[in-house]
Structure 1
């Protein structure tokens, strides 16, 4: 028999989440499926998201995979091209490219082809990660407009604080001041801005984490946002141990029993994608009942508290995150974010 750990993917939830997002906006939806669709699988996630108006990802070969699989929507490379010799492939497969740097602008300027290349021009309005500065904007836009290979131009930016108290107002004001007179399509909103700031929706929204049923906000759950989890990481209890007061659990003995306890060992560890740094007390479901992890997470196993679950034993189903156990809650307990947990699912974990 194989190890009982597996990830179940509910693609009806992905479709549900897309519909939930559409109800919030009249903008076109550019579904973000980078990092193998946040760990859910590029092509299978795209199949479930066929109703999206477009797809955004990072890798040129992934974009080609989608085209060859029959997807005809706009496909956007979020970091653009990395070398001039990629430009003919963009044209061949009708792929849109973000342009965010002077190096890319120079490579585009040397490209001899005429017509058809869709460009998303990225403005740095305060994230200070990618994009042209406000001082560069007017000249860069004019250069892109004049290039004979460029077709449609979309103007975009990315918010640094859409998910926290700082908000989007300063960046939005910067963007509006720069592009106010331009009659060009615009894209600003990631999941957080889409859900919280309708004034950012513009022509294209770019939902990512919300599509997969997780919340971009620390204080608002996915359920409160009308979202359903797509990935459920589940396993089983494979061993049960009785502890007495003073017994320690796992590497380093970081957990010490203060009383007699009953604990279970679960077939899941950091080599499966569960966070090694998750502390004692991280929530988990065993047999549908909430309990907690104990001690240090090992490569292939972790320990859970069965003291208040007398019916739990070897073979009991364990949900690490997903259905009934929000990935956001697990991530918060582990001092990380749901994005990291979903993207870190190991290849060795079977998908059902």
Structure 2
């Protein structure tokens, strides 16, 4: 069988979730597992965390129903809320929690007659300018929802545009807006995403929303002592399937972008953009061959990529290749580093791994 596999370390997932909890010991942490748990498998990740996480968060009701059908009983927050009013029947039937960011959603909730009041997270646009009510609108909507028999456990929610950045002016402006509103309403808060969970204690509220950090990716512009404790959850692993000897000046791959600067040994690896590996990876993008760093040489193809293994004499057909994650010798290649070589972010790499790369789950603790 083709050797490419995405290995998912569920012990590392639990470690990272517990790290998020230690960062904010006075908050509850909802585990964000939208987009199929950032490409890791939402149901499997939820099952791994269900003894730890008091709630999960997804983008939409389809993702939430998959978890319910898989036996997950914890509260599940719909971060984008409902998309049509008739979804409220499913929200009621399955005990989902909903974010509310638009007037029509408010109207639908006020008109609803659920069997049980629905917990609501009212989204406030404190500066992201994507979803949510302006602060001057939110106070009146809060009071309407607070008085509605269809609504329970009302929280204020907002999202930071730059909690990952060293320049904290935008972050501070957002915090000032949302704190003033929360004070006026005496409202519980859910603010902190992964970077705010890791670096901004002032943003820790009644609930936090750690997402990409759960999967071992560092969301900060500059790592700190806490992010260095994150453990990679996904290891994208393959093998060498062929070896070529090239003379100085000979090209490799489409367009001959890479040319040998010396007599070189080139390994062909079973992984390409048809598996979700980013085709924008430049020459020099690192991989681990038998646990040793080696550079990609030439353009990524649909099913294969090529690597310069001239300085790894034990590289052979069948040798282990880690595209990101942890090698068998314990060496780690972080997905964040690979993303920088691809001029993208770890989110796109992790969520972009296609089903053709099967997920294999392992854990020691249960």
TM range (shorter): over 0.9
1:166 aligns with 2:174: no
- 1:61-97: CA deviation from partner (whole Å, max 9, x where unpaired): 3212323433332210000000010001111111000
Question: Residue 224 and residue 194 in structure 1: after superposition, are their counterparts in 2 closer, same or farther (change >3 A)?
Answer: closer
Counterpart for residue 49 of structure 2: 49
- Name the CA distance, whole Å, in 2 between partners of 1:290 and 1:113: 57
Aligned to 1:20: 19
1:134 deviates by 1.6
Return the offset for 1:112: 3.7
Deviation string, structure 1 residues 165-188 (Cα, Å, up to 9, x no partner): 233211000101112132332100
* CA 222–59 in structure 1, closer or farther in 2 if over 3 Å, else same: farther
The separation in 1 between residues aligned to 2:205 and 2:3, in whole angstroms, is 46
Map of 1:234-253 to 2, 5 A cutoff?
Answer: 234-253=237-256
Alignment of 1:57-76 (within 5 A): 57-76=58-77
> Per-residue CA shift, 1:282-335, capped at 9, x if unaligned?
011001110110110000000001111111121111000011211111111111
Kindly indicate whether the alpha-carbon contact (under 8 Å) linking 1:213 and 1:222 is maintained by their aligned counterparts in 2. Answer: no
Give runs of aligned pairs for residues 1-352 of structure 1, distance below 5 A. 2-25=1-24, 26-50=26-50, 51-113=52-114, 115-167=116-168, 168-220=171-223, 224-323=227-326, 324-352=332-360
Q: Which consecutive unaligned segments of at least 5 residues does structure 1 have?
A: none
Residue 364 of structure 2 corresponds to none
TM-score (norm 2): 0.93
Instruction: Provide the secondary structure at the position in 2 that maps to 1:189.
Output: coil
CA distance in 2 between partners of 1:29 and 1:278 (Å): 35
Shift of 1:249: 0.8
Shift of residue 115 of structure 1?
4.7
Name which of structure 1's ranges 326-335 and 145-154 shifts more when overlaid on structure 2. Answer: 145-154
Aligned-CA RMSD value:
1.5
User: 2:363: which partner in 1?
Assistant: none
Distance in 1 (alpha carbons) for counterparts of 2:58 and 2:116: 23
In the alignment, structure 2 segments of 5+ residues that lack a partner are: 327-331, 361-366
